[in-house]
Structure 1
Amino acid sequence: MNRQPIVVALRALRQTLLGPDARPERPLLARWPRLARYAAPAGLLAALGLFWITLTVESNWGLPPPIALLFAAMTVAPLLALPRRPLLAWRLGLLALLVCTFNAPDDQAWPWTPPLALGSVVVAAVVFARVDRPVLGWLVTISTVPVLTLVDAENRAAVLALLGALAIVGDLIRRNRLSRRALAAQTELSEREQERRAVLEERTRIAREMHDVVAHHMSLIAVQAETAPYRLTDVSAPAAAEFVAIAGSARDALTDMRRLLGVLRSESAGPQIAPQPDLADLGAMVDTARRAGLPVTLDAGPADDGQVPAPVGLAAYRIVQEGLANAARHAAGAAVRVTVRPGRSTLTVRVQNAPPDDVRAPHSEAGAGHGLTGMRERATSLGGTFTAGQLPDGGYAVAAELPYDVEGGDR
């Protein structure tokens, strides 16, 4: 015999009657923050008005003032507890339905006052939409007790139909809310996965470019070490052997790099045989942007030959390239200023554009593709820093600090 349904039913009954009352995940007016600030004062005034109406009705029925005050308080209490403690509100409402029925005059068609009946419907509608199905089943079952025992036979069917309709609608509302929540969570997960994939793809592309640059320099080391004994005079035998060892080590390193980084190349991406761009190619790129209609000003400081390493020059070139593309895409017609300042140990790169002509399409990281992600990855892969953001005047700027030596020494 499967005891699982019995265990679930007993747990739901315990939660219904005595169990903890979980607080709602979101306030009732979370979607309307401006309205939510007035909810507490308005609710308090409504509760006071309902208390006064109930007290008036009970007094007209001839109840003593202390009993009328008690019954009026029991009518209002479930509504006060409803926003944060729905199950407690249902329990208080059920107690009010059972207790406040023995005070109605004989000529009344309903055993409860209009405020109590209307408040019970509101409490049931809210609570039924917040609990799961096992608890909902017990709530509906127990709620039929005062209906079957206190309501007249001619009105009993209508009340039971209303109770069933509230249960069905509440279950549908809860399932719809759970579906939307699951869809939102899945959407957020997909967005994070896409962002993570974009970061990995950008890192892979950067690693491929870095591999090409380092492989080029390692090849030069191997060639220079092999030809050094023939280019230099009076090279001793130990020195020649040392050059041969250097060349062999360089070629071994090249082989290991190809094995290690070979997986970074996809089947569709062949080896890049074109030379990698550097700072010397910034002028040509700026001229191309000008011919395309982008007003660009290049401010590049002087740099000694060999001062800026090739990986740093490549990263600076790509950052400027992406910065110009973003400016053309998001701030068409705005003036752009590119600043490249080589220092003693770092290279400063900054791409700044004026406010766009169309103020309805400002810069933002959301929806801007993966350009900012790629620039940030390039800077951080070299141990540098990257910042991007909107300026006070409405423009936008990206800036990067690229160190020559990640370990902190001057080149």
Structure 2
Amino acid sequence: MNRHPIAVALAALRQTLLGPDAPPGRPLLARWPALARYATPAGLLAALGLFSITFAVETDWGLPAPVGVLFAAMTVAPLLALPRRPLLAWRLIVVALLVCTFNAPADQSWPWTPPLALGSVAVVAVVVTRVDRPVLLWLVTITTVPVLTLVDAKNKAPVLLLLGVLAILGDLVRRNRLSRRELVAQTELSEREQERRAVLEERTRIARELHDVVAHHMSLIAVQAETAPYRLTDVPAPAAAEFVAIAGSARDALTDMRRLLGVLRSESTGPETAPQPDLADLPAMVEAAHRAGLAVTLDAPPVDSGRVPAPVGLAGYRIVQEGLANAARHAAGAAVRVTVRADPSTLTVRVQNARPAEAGSRPGEAGAGHGLTGMRERATSLGGTFTAGHQPDGGYAVVAELPYEVEGGDR
């Protein structure tokens, strides 16, 4: 709900005079860390020099030494507070403009010392870029009070013009900075959303592929359960009824899986009728990579397809496929070695490329896509592990360990 303008103005006035300070800006030397370490001692040295100059001017005006010290401190204090407390610095500078003028010589065209006049311009120029527009309006209005009451008539117009220009430029700078921050935030949000969408799409693709494998096994269960009473002799009636129940449950599960697959598939995605690949198709894939110009070596002893479950074989094939794609994309010209080992209960897949001849983007860096995410999703969906990283020789390797149950349930 919109607030009343008077309430907004009063809240802005309270913020200007008594409210919390504006957030500090980015350090000027943030881009040069080697110089940033000298910023504090250099600033203190500059403040000491400014204090000495102001004190000398004040004593030349005939002020007592204690008053000169006080006025010099009031001139330097806002500049020391400016980097971290800009609004406090402005409050201090307004007080200094009102106080440090009472003993100015009559022949002076300006009521303030040069350090105080220049320091006030610097403070206003910074603080107007740190406050929102209602506070900015109050800040400019209050700053005009010492100008209108203490500055000579011939100098008032230029000073007020300078103050107005600083206010306009400061508001533009602040709005531009906020726009850039919002753009960066939207860009980061978009990138995170794209990453999340890529992960979900990869999971959906994995689920679709696993559906075909699981559906095949469920169909076998249903067929075997239906034909078992005819293949066996003297089957008791209760056992025959159990076979019928098993077949019915298997077919119900197939129906539910088809409904689930309909949810996973988009409207534009047609049914996938091609058989899913497995480890036996690795030589053909490596040969295709050879023809494409990739130097690949396959170290994969023949694997008994009946011992390695189909989902594990499919995951191993896809991991090798994505690993070769990453090597071709990020390590062009480097030799690649594919190693596949099937232990009694674990399938280990390793794709390692040598150091590329030319430095380029690496897997996992910005713009590298989501291949590593997909490989990790495949491994973890089967209860396995996945690691990827740079090797001591400058190459890159991905390793997946996919566990599976052997016949009989032993691991």
TM-score by length of 1: 0.94
Contact 2:222 2:247 in 1 (8 A): yes
**Does residue 1:212 correspond to 2:217, yes or no?**
no
Contact 1:302 1:342 in 2 (8 A): no
Cα gap change, 1:162/1:212 in structure 2, threshold over 3 Å: closer, same or farther? same
Larger mean CA deviation between 115-124 and 101-110 belongs to 101-110
Partner of 1:392: 392
Partner of 1:371: 371
C-alpha deviation, 1:30, in angstroms? 3.5
Cα RMSD (Å) of the superposition? 1.9
The separation in 2 between residues aligned to 1:133 and 1:65, in whole angstroms, is 41
Contact 1:28 1:83 in 2 (8 A): no
**Matched pairs, number:** 408
Contact 2:330 2:360 in 1 (8 A): no
Amino acid at match of 1:102: F
Partner of 2:146: 146
Larger mean CA deviation between 255-264 and 30-39 belongs to 30-39
Contact 2:25 2:83 in 1 (8 A): no
Partner of 2:286: 286
Q: Deviations over 1:64-86 (max 9, x none)?
A: 21111111111100000001111
Amino acid at match of 2:278: D
Cα gap change, 1:340/1:307 in structure 2, threshold over 3 Å: closer, same or farther? same
Partner of 2:86: 86
The separation in 2 between residues aligned to 1:344 and 1:26, in whole angstroms, is 59
C-alpha deviation, 1:227, in angstroms? 2.3
The separation in 1 between residues aligned to 2:311 and 2:98, in whole angstroms, is 81
Cα gap change, 1:28/1:15 in structure 2, threshold over 3 Å: closer, same or farther? farther
Amino acid at match of 2:20: P
Amino acid at match of 1:97: L
The residue matched to 2:306 in structure 1 has which SS?
Answer: coil
Q: Deviations over 1:376-406 (max 9, x none)?
A: 2111221222222222322111111212159
C-alpha deviation, 1:287, in angstroms? 1.6
Amino acid at match of 2:320: V
The residue matched to 1:317 in structure 2 has which SS?
Answer: helix
Matches within 5 A, 1:2-401: 4-24=4-24, 26-301=26-301, 303-401=303-401
Contact 1:223 1:247 in 2 (8 A): yes
Contact 1:51 1:76 in 2 (8 A): yes
Q: Give me the identity figure in percent.
A: 84
C-alpha deviation, 1:233, in angstroms? 4.2
C-alpha deviation, 1:361, in angstroms? 3.8
Contact 1:298 1:338 in 2 (8 A): yes
Q: Deviations over 1:158-214 (max 9, x none)?
A: 000000000000000000000000111111111111111111111111111111110
Cα gap change, 1:57/1:405 in structure 2, threshold over 3 Å: closer, same or farther? farther
Where does structure 1 lack aligned partners over 5 or more consecutive residues?
none
Amino acid at match of 2:167: A
The residue matched to 2:104 in structure 1 has which SS?
Answer: coil
Where does structure 2 lack aligned partners over 5 or more consecutive residues?
none
Amino acid at match of 2:394: G
Q: Deviations over 1:206-253 (max 9, x none)?
A: 111111110011111112222223334444444333322222211111
Amino acid at match of 1:395: G
Cα gap change, 1:204/1:305 in structure 2, threshold over 3 Å: closer, same or farther? closer
C-alpha deviation, 1:276, in angstroms? 0.7
Contact 2:22 2:130 in 1 (8 A): no
The separation in 2 between residues aligned to 1:68 and 1:217, in whole angstroms, is 95
Amino acid at match of 1:4: H
Contact 2:362 2:368 in 1 (8 A): no
Cα gap change, 1:373/1:172 in structure 2, threshold over 3 Å: closer, same or farther? same
Larger mean CA deviation between 384-393 and 186-195 belongs to 384-393
